[in-house]
Structure 1
């Protein structure tokens, strides 16, 4: 029984067998690379299954397929390159780095990132290899335009090898692309302490100019924000001084611009504003008989409401000519849910502080009805 068990165990590979297999794999890999150069790459891995496909790839396969079968090439690679029992941490890190380099050369940058990442996960104690893994992964991120990751990896490489010039330069470039100009300047200056390089010197000057422009734009933006805030404060202060009741505001401290924004579709930018200390209000005129409306974006508080109506009548939809300034009544619905008649000869500002008036959605709304008409009677009765 024990003899059967012993004979079923797979014998360990000798050094000669291992060398022969390595030579065979190198030859097959060279032939594979040569074939790639002769034909275009038109069979890429789909985005939604790249991890699944990668696990089938001999370079990245870590588990045996469900059918338990592996090609000699895949089995040899898995054994030689990925088995912790067959490789030291340093060997594993180098193997993953080689996989990353292979994909990098063939512009498979995402796969290269995965290869370098696996090498980093090994956590070998060789500073040079770790610096190379992070630097190479930074290069792959750079070509993918992942500038933040490229900067992180470049700086990580520098923690293992402060004199790694390629990592230093890439850190500077990635910082510039990420608009981190102080970081870019710092890396450029550090590099130029011991090196002379025209490209890095130009990048340093470019970063300094960009930093100045960025700071100028930020100052300008801050001034604009300060001015806008001052204008908002002045607007709210003026509304409070006028004594206008705002819907959903419990007191003066509860008033803000969000409660003054018009809620009508397409009218969000027609918020009340100050012009020469005059409040300019959006107003909505409703015609229940025809289910139509007119929207006026900026009606001055010191102008009679009748002036706005005179610009609208005669209306093109009023075929019976019932809507005239002399033959209509104007109402608003107060916070008591009742209709209140308005004298259109009064200034808008006077109407806004009428008893029971409440400004809703930052817009003054008025109902226009033919005087003495059935439509007017129905409107009034509907609120009783």
Structure 2
């Protein structure tokens, strides 16, 4: 609420009213704004007054830095920030209308201050600092820049000419070895194992006795399960430094991994041998029973259902079981039996399948249905419901296609129509 202030008797109305002391809230608000934002010197971009006019004439003016930001749209700000080296993401659009960017050119010029060895050394030292902080991505980038400087062709050399050529060559050689070896460390930590081996190879070209390069290469090869190459690399490293603990540790890890892989390989070989024996014994069992089988490219998906010997697939005394499909073509229905024993009769399974839940007319009863199978020649045979499956399949009249036995179940009252439709379909085929 405003307060009424009583004026003194000698108040001169011709003088401007005294400026009231700021309230504690206003004072706190002004102190909360950093002085840098209130300074006209700290303006990131030119201010456009027409863009920052406030609709409320009594509202306070924005600080210069905030007014500078309000002067532009987000897209305009992004475009201008891209011209600033710190925020630059697109070099093609980093220039002004004439394609120039003074700050960018100044930064580029820094790359050529000093000799090539000095510039490479500078990048290497920055990489070392990043590596100490375990900032592997940045460290790798600095080492890559150093290597790029080292690999520049002589005709493209834009750096200062060294006064001491021998010293410069020594710097270049040491920098090349160290940068490749250290970038290998970064790649190893980043799990870029192939790149690690390539960098180590480059370091070893410069100095074949670089033990760190041998160690890092062997670690990468171990991670790639290239145990023979890893063993060779460790052996070469230990020939240089027989007491190197790190190399001995890698050697132990290689032996442990080799043991694991050998066990896996032995188990896999045993499994493959078991499958081979099972397949051979199954084939022998089918031949002994004169059961014909055929495979096509259109094998149905039956999950793990298949022809097998049970309970022991490696025992010739086991019983053959078959996946069996009961077809009800007159009503477009089916039933699937996963393991139909060779000594089972059709009735053994129809007894628990019938009556069928969808058979509202009660046409499918044990006494009122007959069963058929298609022959090898494309005809039909009627199958005795009390015959063992082995007796039905043996003899060569029918064959098991894609490991699936198909038995057609037809109500006796519809047999004639079924046979006529079957012949008509076969005639068209």
- Which structure's CA Rg is the greater one? 2
1:137 corresponds to which of 176, 183, 191: 183
2:42 is matched with which residue?
none
Structure 1 gaps of 5+ residues are: 1-52, 250-258
1:268 equivalenced with 2:303 (yes/no): yes
1:232 equivalenced with 2:232 (yes/no): no
| Conserved 8 A contact 1:287-1:293 | yes
| Conserved 8 A contact 2:197-2:221 | yes
Output one character per residue of 1:322-380: Cα deviation in whole Å (capped at 9) or x when no partner.
32322211112334444332112222223224555232222011111222x23x33322
Tell me the distance in 1 between the aligned counterparts of 2:137 and 2:337: 59
1:318 corresponds to which of 336, 344, 359: 359
Q: Secondary structure at the match of 2:353?
A: coil
Alpha-carbon spacing, 1:114–1:303, altered in 2? closer, same or farther (3 Å): farther
1:72 equivalenced with 2:107 (yes/no): no
Structure 1-normalised TM-score?
0.66
> How many correspondences in the alignment?
313
Moved more, 267-276 or 351-360: 351-360
1:359 is matched with which residue?
400
Structure 2 gaps of 5+ residues are: 1-81, 155-168, 424-429
1:207 equivalenced with 2:207 (yes/no): no
| Conserved 8 A contact 2:143-2:179 | no
Output one character per residue of 1:249-304: Cα deviation in whole Å (capped at 9) or x when no partner.
7xxxxxxxxx6x9513xx13212122343322111112224432221222222332
Q: Secondary structure at the match of 2:371?
A: strand
Tell me the distance in 2 between the aligned counterparts of 1:91 and 1:184: 35
Q: Secondary structure at the match of 1:326?
A: helix
What are the within-5 Å matches in structure 2 for residues 33-72 of structure 1?
A: 69-72=99-102
Output one character per residue of 1:40-93: Cα deviation in whole Å (capped at 9) or x when no partner.
xxxxxxxxxxxxx9xx999999989686534334224445538xxx99876786
Measured on the aligned residues, the alpha-carbon RMSD in Å equals 3.9
| Conserved 8 A contact 2:292-2:396 | no
What are the within-5 Å matches in structure 2 for residues 1-384 of structure 1?
A: 69-79=99-109, 81=111, 106-108=135-137, 111=141, 115=145, 118=148, 122=152, 127-193=173-239, 194=241, 196-247=243-294, 262-264=299-301, 267-275=302-310, 276-277=315-316, 278-353=319-394, 356-371=397-412, 373-374=413-414, 376-384=415-423
Tell me the distance in 2 between the aligned counterparts of 1:91 and 1:334: 88
Alpha-carbon spacing, 1:159–1:339, altered in 2? closer, same or farther (3 Å): same
Tell me the distance in 2 between the aligned counterparts of 1:245 and 1:113: 69
Tell me the distance in 1 between the aligned counterparts of 2:285 and 2:146: 63
